[in-house]
Amino acid sequence: MTSSTPRKATLALKIIIVGGSIAGLACAYTLRQAGHDVVVLEQSGGRRTKCRGGMRMPPNTTRILNDWGLGPTLEKVAVKSTGVNLLIGKTGERIGKLAYHEPIMTALRGNYLLMQYDDLYSTLFDLAVHAGAQIRYASQVVSVDDSRATVVLSSGEELMGDLVIGADGSNSLVRRLTMGTYAVEEGEERCYFSFNIPTERMEKDEELALLLQSQCWEVWCGDNASMYSHLVHSGTEYAIVLYLTLPNHPYTETYDDHRPISEFNIDLDRFEPRLRRLVELADTFAPIKYVRRERFAPSTSTNGSGRVLLIGDAAHPIRPHGSNNAGLALEDAVTVGSLLSRIQNISQLSSLIEAVDEIRQTRCATVKQDASTRVDYMSLPHGPAQQARDEAFRAGLAVASLEYEEGDEEYDRYYREQSQWQGYIALFDYDAGEVVEDWWAKWGAPIERMEEGVGKQKPNDGETRSPSPVVEVSVVEVLMS
């Protein structure tokens, strides 16, 4: 759990963050809390106000925001989800459910929230600025010198710091300039479309209005496609994400490509009629493609100079619109801020940066794999695998629909047998701050002993370290009690 009084670093670093993304703003906040001087360079002309897409934020994400004192803000702008419904895309038949029961959420110290991107962005922007971070817009970086932690802007201005952090997305310029490209970079045939609809428009359609009565998020499983939907923005808007295989599509990686709904001419006959009517109520849609990038050696976020670090999608690009995209960014910010709050002299910087990568690699790989697996699973083409999935969901629907107090023994058996639900708990049950504390207790002493001017020293003093531990809250015990 985050301390109420942030730890301040003995040495205040000058840190340049490239990219005013969710990851960049969150990291700016944690580094300011640690006492460092932070400037965020964003190439766009001003605060982002057009990214109205929906975000699903599980407890591992909202726990961090709560620890940062943002609980009251979240209550105003987010929607508390009570679970997820799984439906047949063509008919709307409900075949599965996962309920977010209060005892489980209490143990996780965070609710599952449904939120609009703009709301989270604005919240983190205000948080970072209030903490003292400098945000510079219209500041396009064109070169990075990792040996001197220096960046040059398109204007010719040069900025020098102690550390450059790339938070500039999956097609990161910082990564390309300092670490090269991935071994594999290939676009998927699957495309991702997001839509936002004012709920007042849905209220005029009796069938669509029924969707507004639920605080669950809905997943429609289609034929080689899926659609996710839920309330956002204090319940005044309805967000949709459509995952659709579309060979040779013309779309790009940018999240800023907003097009009029009149240009959306894709046949949605694999989904029930009300979903087709729902999409037609949107003013615009935002298409995006995902480029699969295989990790480059030796690590995902550092290049060995000790002066450059990648976070967020720049370090571990993940499929768009997943439940843990924002979560990984916030966990990165917690990790970076916590480790750099311990720096006493510049000789320690390289080892601390390497520690970020060591701590985060396993977690990020797990979440990335889970995101890909779940989208594929919910988008199975019609056939034996899809039928087996639907039968498994149906078999547990009666138990999943019970109140928690009514079915403890049945829940015990059901959750032990259903690996997909166990997977959710494992993802939710991660506390980035506690992971850092545990790692530091085990491996921090050699770093603390490093003296000014000695240069880089191996923090393990020749000892081989085991993988970073995963710290878990006792949620499974609550679930099975």
* Alpha-carbon separation of residue 99 from 83, 94, 401, 424 (angstroms): 4, 14, 7, 11
> Helix, strand, coil: what percent of the chain each, to 5?
40, 20, 35
Q: In this structure, are residues 124 and 32 in contact, taking their beta carbons and an 8 Å threshold?
A: no
Nearest CA-CA partner of 79 in 101, 60, 56: 56
Average of pLDDT values for 27-35? Answer: 99
Whether the pLDDT of residue 463 is over 90: the answer is no
Helix runs in 92-244, H state only: 102-108, 117-131, 173-179, 199-202, 206-209
5 confidence band (pLDDT: 50, 70, 90): confident
pTM of the model: 0.89
251 confidence band (pLDDT: 50, 70, 90): confident
Which positions ≥6 away from 351 have C-beta within 8 Å? 306, 447, 450, 456, 457, 458, 459
Helix runs in 324-383, H state only: 325-340, 349-378
Residue-range domain boundaries for the chain: 14-185+294-438
Beta strand ranges found along 183-224 (DSSP E): 185-198, 217-222
Whether the pLDDT of residue 99 is over 90: the answer is no
Q: In this structure, are residues 11 and 163 in contact, taking their beta carbons and an 8 Å threshold?
A: no
Whether the pLDDT of residue 50 is over 60: the answer is no
332 confidence band (pLDDT: 50, 70, 90): very high
Whether the pLDDT of residue 460 is over 60: the answer is no
292 confidence band (pLDDT: 50, 70, 90): confident
| Residue pLDDT, tens place only, 406-428 | 456 666 665 555 555 667 778 89
Domain 14-185+294-438 of CATH type 3.30.1330.50: no
Which residue pairs from 342-346 have beta carbons closer than 8 angstroms and sit at least 24 positions apart in sequence? Answer: 342/7, 342/9, 342/440, 342/444, 342/447, 342/448, 343/9, 343/10, 343/11, 343/13, 344/9, 344/10, 344/11, 344/448, 345/10, 345/11, 345/450, 345/451, 345/452, 346/11, 346/162, 346/452
